[in-house]
A and B are shown apart, each in its own frame.
Chain A
Amino acid sequence: NAGVTQTPKFQVLKTGQSMTLQCAQDMNHEYMSWYRQDPGMGLRLIHYSVGAGITDQGEVPNGYNVSRSTTEDFPLRLLSAAPSQTSVYFCASSQPGQGNSPLHFGNGTRLTVT
């Protein structure tokens, strides 16, 4: 199994450009989430989804949109990129009904906004 796959691995954007970070999981997990990792800040939750068609905001949702049309995919859209969105983005999935099932993370997308 591939687990959680994120594309692209690296991306450079200019201020104001838009793009979509892709995330796909093949474990049939119900829960998916997006985190951003910044030095000295740890990982912060952007948006999460508890199933197809259901999404909600996390701690730092401004400037990002998500949708969940299938169980497998959970893309993250940057509407108008800003330098403050320079970060490493991680997608994660987990399964309910198993107590505290671990988050399975992808290998991240490193985004630079100039």
Chain B
Amino acid sequence: QQQVKQSPQSLIVQKGGISIINCAYENTAFDYFPWYQQFPGKGPALLIAIRPDVSEKKEGRFTISFNKSAKQFSLHIMDSQPGDSATYFCAASNNAGGTSYGKLTFGQGTILTVHP
């Protein structure tokens, strides 16, 4: 059972364009939604994260939009650069009690390619 569904599976964007990756979740107990970025041969690394008490969070060119009623969240990469080419994973966790114990439920991943 895939509790976090991510789309698209792959995405090709021209340099300077906007990359948009979408995720939907089922478990209403999820209360923490991070995005991880993974380069080939490396482990994933935290990019940006959001809690459900806000609808948007922006860090530089990266923005998370969150829609609690629809149980959806998305990553927007503005002014996409070739260096952004990587695999992106959305994730979710339930932090009841103040911690998730390091357990995340990941989406399927999106391979982003930014052409120069």
Chain A positions within 8 Å of B, measured between CB atoms, are 4, 31-33, 35, 40-45, 48, 50, 58-59, 90, 92-94, 96-97, 100, 102-103, 105-108
Does B61 have its Cβ within 8 Å of any Cβ on chain A?
A: no
Return chain A residues, CB-CB under 8 Å to B104: 43, 45, 103
Selected from B6, B103, B107, B108, the residue in CB contact (under 8 A) with A58 is: B103
CB distance from A87 to the nearest CB of B (A): 14
Interface of A is mostly: strand
B103 near A107 with CB under 8 A, answer no
B100 touches A44 (CB 8 A): no
Query: Can you offer 6 A-B residue contacts whose CB atoms are under 8 A?
Result: A43-B89, A45-B104, A48-B102, A100-B34, A105-B45, A107-B43
The answer to whether B103 touches A105, judged by C-beta atoms less than 8 angstroms apart, is no
